[in-house]
Structure 1
Amino acid sequence: MIVREGKSVFKGVAIGKIFVYKKADNAVKKETVADTAAEMARFEAAKEKALGQLKGLYEKALKDVGEEEAMIFDVHQMLLDDPDYNDSIKDIIENEKMNAEYAVFMTSEQFAAMFLSMDDDYMRGRAADIKDISERVISILNGSQVSPEAMPEPVIIVAEDLAPSETVQFEKDKLLALVTQKGSSNSHTAILARTMNIPSLVTTNIEIDTAYDGRTAIVDGFTGLIYIDPDEETMEKMKEKKARADEQRALLQEMKGKETVTLSGKHIHLYSNIGGIQDVDAVLENDAEGIGLFRSEFLYLGCDDYPSEEVQFEAYKTVLSRMNGKKVIIRTMDIGADKQIDYFNLPKEDNPALGYRAIRICLTREDIFRTQLRALYRASAYGTLSIMFPMIISVKEITRIKEIVEEVKLELAREEQPMGEVELGIMIETPAAAVISDLLAPHVDFFSIGTNDLSQYTLAIDRQNQSLDSFFDPHHEAILRLIQLTIENAHKYGAWCGICGELGADMELTAKFIQMGIDELSVSPGYTLELRKRIREC
């Protein structure tokens, strides 16, 4: 039995097979081959496997985000079957006697260059698609592909780390637990685990070794341990522990349908944080009163190009419709920092957390911002929508945002597009915003405190840097004072105030937040019932 230790970010016990997730190494070597027929057979087999994966991705996208967004995977299948593309690969293998990986790579480079030289924007965009399908085939050929869609089910994922662009691809029902070498309690791995209500360990002293693939393991989210090839005694103890944890979770079901109200009669709005349409089931299952944070950037992370107005509209409309009149607060895209997207072509920065991100992108690339706002206001006709804007630090930013909003609403009114009433709010994520919250409050309907960023900016500690964990204190008096100041200033000017960061689920602070006068707490769906129980005991 092998035992490794990490930092638990969500409690629970998971028992299952390990799936080692490694980023593909697609370095291509140029090699001469003697048997060209065998090499062609290798290529054909890899191509068929890639086509099968693309078909699966098309069906998943069709279910999750609709036909328009799913079409990209249909296009990829057509490109992979294109006669000219295949003839080029065949020519390099048979006539130049080169290995399949090199043939695919050279064809990819030639075709991408051809597309990029065209005047038509649509055709230029196909260059990225050619490279995408070619990398997929090369990964299969060299055996380096360990992709989310290749996962058996169910599995315990072991990885070095997981970027937002990777986590968004996973089939949620295939995950039992997440174990990473890197990361922190505020990383996207941790946020994903909490959203899905599954055990998760970060900063784990585990080797990322494919020899672990398929081996039985136990993840104990209570102690932060993972047992690989557990002995019989450990297996029995963990099965009992899992049964007790499942029983406690079942008891929390009694909280469904009950009011989120303190013993003294104060009602707290208890909402959920989500990353996409697929998370709405968890919100409804855990009886949240609404959605306090829809991270709209995950729509962008899941695309190969800017999602169109129609794609975004369908996603927002679906969530609003499914929430059946309950409040849905959608944050405009928070791209940048640790959420990098290739097609945004963001400049490389020495300190991206303090750089070109979130509202700063929106106010300098207004075409992207207006597209999102149009989709949001069109969707507002299908439910109760609030919009909040991230990383605000000045009244000037709010003024410009509201000018753009009015212009977008006027456009839609001229087009006779139906719209509902929409609350506008901002996130308080910087000490600057908290300190001038008395100046900001008169211009908005609400504040939502993003404690993840507020904590890192207040303490000057990168929340993703695991080596600083011993210095990071989420209960630091400076953070709590800024939260108190923000709540007081919101109420002074008639705005309500909530918390949507990870501190909202910190049960040690629940009573303090209520004493401060907080109006709303928005947490990962898996924490909803436990937090309701805690509030009802305050």
Structure 2
Amino acid sequence: MLTLTANDVRLGATATDWQHALAQAAGELERAGRTTADYLTGMMTREQQSSTVLGNGIAIPHGTPDSRSAVLDTGIRLLQFPDGVTWHDGNRVHVLVAIAAQSDEHLDILRDLTRVLDQPGLADQLARADDAEALVRLLSTPPVQVKCDRDSLCLGVDAGSATELALTAAARLQRLQCVDRDFLGAIVGQTPVSLGQGFWLVHHGLGARRPALALATPKQPAPDLQGVFCLAGPGDQCRELLERLDGFLAVGERIDTLGADALLARLAGEAPDAVSAQVVLLNTHGLHARPAKQLVQEARRHNARIRVRLLDGDGAAVSATSLTRIIGLGARRGQTLVLSATGEDAQPAITALAAAITGGLGEAVTPLASTPASAPEPAAAEPEPLVDDQPLKAVAASPGLALAPAFVLRQPTLDYPATAADPEEQIQRLNRAIDESDGQLRSLIRQAEGGEAAPILSVHVEMLQDEDLYQATLEAIGEGASAEAGWWQAIDTAARAQEALADRLLAERAADLRDVGRRVLANLCGVSMPTPPDSPYMLVAEDLGPSDVARLDTTRVRGLVTARGGATAHSAILARALGLPAVVGAGERVLTLTDGAELVVDGERGCVVANPAAERRDRIQRRLEQLAELQAEAHSQRHEPATTLDGHTLEVCANLGNTAHTPDAVERGADGIGLLRTEFIFMAHPEAPDLATQEREYRHAFDALNGLPLVARTLDVGGDKPLDYWPLPQEDNPFLGLRGIRLSLTRPEILETQVRALLRAAGDRPLRLMFPMVKDLDEFRAAKAIVQRVQDEIGAPDLQIGVMIEVPSSALLAPTLAPEVDFFSVGTNDLTQYTLAIDRGHGQLSAESDALHPAVLRLIQMTVAAAHAHGRWVGVCGELASDPLAIPVLLGLEVDELSVTSRRVPLVKACIRKLSLETARTQAALALSKATAVEVRDALEAS
């Protein structure tokens, strides 16, 4: 996309005529290396076809499609003519935006410029600008996106006063994220102003995120109360909405005679008696300058007032005779234009204009691919069934191997009426279903107490109590919806809003929201969820919500398979915590399995096999028997150190997401806690936990460890893991934004409270503290200074302070960090993500996010070398630490500690005991010699 910058500007140009000005523009593009000299011919040809003047002193000269061979590199140059140049169409031009485009990149510049053309005095400002930056700013004013559409209408509200309707309209704008709570507070204290004809207005700019207009109407309109408009935004940004409101009031129609579509048409500026039509735009590049000019010329032939708007937009209808307004619509191929006309020539005008648009407005067009109206809708293609004994590749989500009959969890069909006659009865049904769901969730939380599922299910309880969801449902019920339809509409709207943010974590929260929504919906419909068999089984589902996983009887379920989802979804996290083999993202084919079909799930290789043949089945059984023997042996020796055959000992510690798991980790033989994710306590509270709360939680861990060391990671939230009570600005890439230590340093008081709680809870017991997402020495020093200050204040003993190696820069700078830190802990999950530039939750790429990639291994090697040169130790706390193929490599790289999930501690220790350090060094050298992760795994498996 072309972008105008100050470097593209030439101020103070002069020209004898428009041809001289155009030649200068072409020369600027040629000198910049954008075009050859032949491009001027194309620019001249374009002017002969039609003028490139936009208006208000701006022209955008560019070549024809035939002249694109003269474009060497897409670019742009801006020439200012303070004295002006008279163009061949009679317009006075002060600025030429000369464009060299190899395709249609100039369309974006064109649309941006049309948005500033209505500014009063723009031509004079362009002529007088004496600074390149100022000139760019004049031409780059971002458009103000207003909100006034079907979503902002609240029709038929059960309210009897203008104040009640005002609050309903304001609440709707908040739900649409147009305003925040400050706006609601301002509206509460405001008396509606009469607009006449029974309409009222409330307006405020405080807390407005974008200009918006909502309308609430009563169920029983009265002459003095037809509706209340709620306007949000500063006055200068609401000009368009106020003009639309004035136009609506000037018509003087009774609102109870209008449906939603007609009401929106009036608010868009269409007259009640207008002749209208809808027509689909077919032009490949949308309604850009050439077809827009054809549309305007056709409109001017008729004695009618013709207006145009986008059917799927929320903007006002614009005059069909204004070129800049038509271009400013930004209409794209496939969008529907709404034409309306009044006057004696209205019907012929609409007929001619619709025909011209359908015909392409002077351009060759092709119809949209569509199914003929008379043809029946094609049935969705059924996925091909799995082929027996043929592995199906999926995403490895939780390690392990299992063989068991499949149980396919098919969501029951929930049939319910869309409407209901008695709103009060529907509200009572809704309340009962929410209460029932609340009780079910709290029962699950009690069953899962101390486990990974409990805090996630606690969030589900909070979602049930969300006031915005409840109010949105009540509004829908008030408009005639059934409790079921109103509830699911509220859930679906909220979930879609989160999914639209293109943020992986928020997308997963949207899945949680739908999980909660389905629970209430099932209770409303009186439908129970399917019951798995009493015998061992493999759970197969389209996707699993956290509550589904929390209900699992781990004595029967042997593994999990989902058609959708990623390795970072809550269901995958819980599967790992439960020690269940799991693969996700296997595709719709797995749903074709019949209940009882034998299924192999390999959570380490990331594949499933349906109905294995006898040979494969025997091989799997032998592997399972060997694994069972190994697990039994490992369990019996779990409290023994992990010492290699040649006498080298590694610490094998446990990763914990909750202090309640500490006794289990110790019982499984962990040499300590290698990673305590302290954010669990922050996520479990609606506000930042105070000192006493944190100290009490941390003390549980120290008490259970009986003197074993604990490595606590300071709060690691932000960016992709936000806290509700710590709001952050929206970020285009949260993985590269405010998170980890960089976020904690913006609120040092929270970090200080956490450090104080950890030090007080530890007393004289071994505490090791580490900071997440450290990129360089400055961040480490800033965080360490806070720790040392708290130590001095409370007289705490010395402790080890380290950093997590999660960012490639920290591994590359390990020689500068090592003299000042006490240890490194390598978080291979994030280190792999940042090193390979692959989001490990990406549906297509996550399988390639392999920490055994030689690039990641080399960063670990550099970290270990730097640490050992200064007498420091290095741990690995990512999932790589429990990968059987990776353990010899990490040992050979001379890592000092591995930290894994508690369930894997005995097996990891057993694996180390079967190795020698020399053999491990050979394995590490072999891995480092390869070029890809696939080559590394193939070589290690063959060795």
Same fold flag (TM > 0.5): yes
- TM-score for both structures, normalised by structure 1: 0.73
Answer whether contact 1:380 1:421 (CA < 8 A) is retained.
no
Identity %: 31
Q: Which residue of 1 aligns with 2:895?
A: 518
Structure 1 counterpart of 2:715, from 333, 338, 350: 333
Tell me which of the two structures has the higher relative contact order, counting C-alpha pairs closer than 8 angstroms and 6 or more residues apart: 1
Q: Which residue of 2 aligns with 1:100?
A: 483
Q: Specify the SS of the correspondent of 2:784.
A: helix
For residues 376 and 21 of structure 1, the distance between their equivalents in structure 2, rounded to whole angstroms, comes to 46
Answer whether contact 1:296 1:332 (CA < 8 A) is retained.
yes
> Is structure 2 residue 807 aligned with structure 1 residue 430?
yes
Answer whether contact 1:19 1:158 (CA < 8 A) is retained.
yes
The Cα shift of 1:192 comes to 4.4
Q: Which residue of 2 aligns with 1:31?
A: 419
Cα offsets for 1:154-178 (capped at 9, x unmatched): 9855566679xx4898368656433
Taking a change above 3 Å as real, the CA distance of residues 7 and 71 of structure 1, as seen in their structure-2 partners, is closer
Q: Specify the SS of the correspondent of 1:475.
A: coil
Q: Which residue of 2 aligns with 1:452?
A: 829
The Cα shift of 1:92 comes to 10
The Cα shift of 1:97 comes to 7.3
The Cα shift of 1:359 comes to 1.0
For residues 274 and 403 of structure 1, the distance between their equivalents in structure 2, rounded to whole angstroms, comes to 26
Answer whether contact 1:358 1:390 (CA < 8 A) is retained.
yes
Q: Specify the SS of the correspondent of 1:467.
A: coil
Bigger CA drift: 528-537 or 315-324?
A: 528-537
Taking a change above 3 Å as real, the CA distance of residues 494 and 377 of structure 1, as seen in their structure-2 partners, is same
Structure 1 counterpart of 2:550, from 170, 179, 198: 170
The Cα shift of 1:364 comes to 0.8
Q: Which residue of 2 aligns with 1:205?
A: 587
Structure 2 counterpart of 1:56, from 443, 449, 452: 443
> Is structure 2 residue 870 aligned with structure 1 residue 493?
yes
Query: Structure 2: which 5+ residue stretches go unaligned?
Result: 1-384, 492-512, 917-943
For residues 71 and 481 of structure 1, the distance between their equivalents in structure 2, rounded to whole angstroms, comes to 41
Superposed, which structure 2 residues align to 1:230-241 within 5 Å? none
For residues 831 and 459 of structure 2, the distance between their equivalents in structure 1, rounded to whole angstroms, comes to 37
Taking a change above 3 Å as real, the CA distance of residues 352 and 43 of structure 1, as seen in their structure-2 partners, is closer
The Cα shift of 1:446 comes to 0.8
For residues 712 and 547 of structure 2, the distance between their equivalents in structure 1, rounded to whole angstroms, comes to 20
The Cα shift of 1:301 comes to 3.8
For residues 548 and 797 of structure 2, the distance between their equivalents in structure 1, rounded to whole angstroms, comes to 30
For residues 75 and 516 of structure 1, the distance between their equivalents in structure 2, rounded to whole angstroms, comes to 46
The Cα shift of 1:313 comes to 2.5
1:530 maps to a residue whose letter is: L
Over the aligned positions, Cα root-mean-square deviation in angstroms equals: 5.0
Answer whether contact 2:405 2:598 (CA < 8 A) is retained.
yes
Taking a change above 3 Å as real, the CA distance of residues 421 and 33 of structure 1, as seen in their structure-2 partners, is farther
1:273 maps to a residue whose letter is: N
Alignment size in residue pairs: 496
Superposed, which structure 2 residues align to 1:84-483 within 5 Å? 99-100=482-483, 138-140=520-522, 158=540, 166=546, 170=550, 174=554, 176-182=558-564, 192-206=574-588, 218-221=599-602, 224=606, 226=608, 245-381=627-763, 383-410=765-792, 412=794, 421-468=798-845, 472-483=849-860
The Cα shift of 1:200 comes to 1.0
Answer whether contact 2:874 2:896 (CA < 8 A) is retained.
yes
Cα offsets for 1:204-223 (capped at 9, x unmatched): 124697x9998787452267
Q: Specify the SS of the correspondent of 1:271.
A: strand
1:276 maps to a residue whose letter is: N
Superposed, which structure 2 residues align to 1:71-90 within 5 Å? none
1:521 maps to a residue whose letter is: L
The Cα shift of 1:19 comes to 7.3
Cα offsets for 1:36-94 (capped at 9, x unmatched): 65x466346414413422542664587669x99999999999x89x9xxx9xx99998x
1:275 maps to a residue whose letter is: G
The Cα shift of 1:521 comes to 1.3
For residues 188 and 72 of structure 1, the distance between their equivalents in structure 2, rounded to whole angstroms, comes to 12
Q: Which residue of 1 aligns with 2:102?
A: none
The Cα shift of 1:392 comes to 0.4
The Cα shift of 1:271 comes to 1.1
Bigger CA drift: 198-207 or 387-396?
A: 198-207
The Cα shift of 1:189 comes to 5.4
Q: Which residue of 2 aligns with 1:416?
A: none
Q: Identify the structure with the greater helix proportion.
A: 1
For residues 408 and 473 of structure 1, the distance between their equivalents in structure 2, rounded to whole angstroms, comes to 39
- TM-score for both structures, normalised by structure 2: 0.44
Cα offsets for 1:103-159 (capped at 9, x unmatched): 889999xxxxxxxxxxxxxxxxxxxxxx99x96985455569999xx9999985556
Structure 1 counterpart of 2:880, from 500, 503, 516: 503
Taking a change above 3 Å as real, the CA distance of residues 227 and 266 of structure 1, as seen in their structure-2 partners, is closer
Taking a change above 3 Å as real, the CA distance of residues 307 and 207 of structure 1, as seen in their structure-2 partners, is farther
Taking a change above 3 Å as real, the CA distance of residues 441 and 190 of structure 1, as seen in their structure-2 partners, is farther
For residues 588 and 429 of structure 2, the distance between their equivalents in structure 1, rounded to whole angstroms, comes to 34
The Cα shift of 1:391 comes to 0.6
Query: Structure 1: which 5+ residue stretches go unaligned?
Result: 109-130, 414-418
Answer whether contact 1:195 1:274 (CA < 8 A) is retained.
no
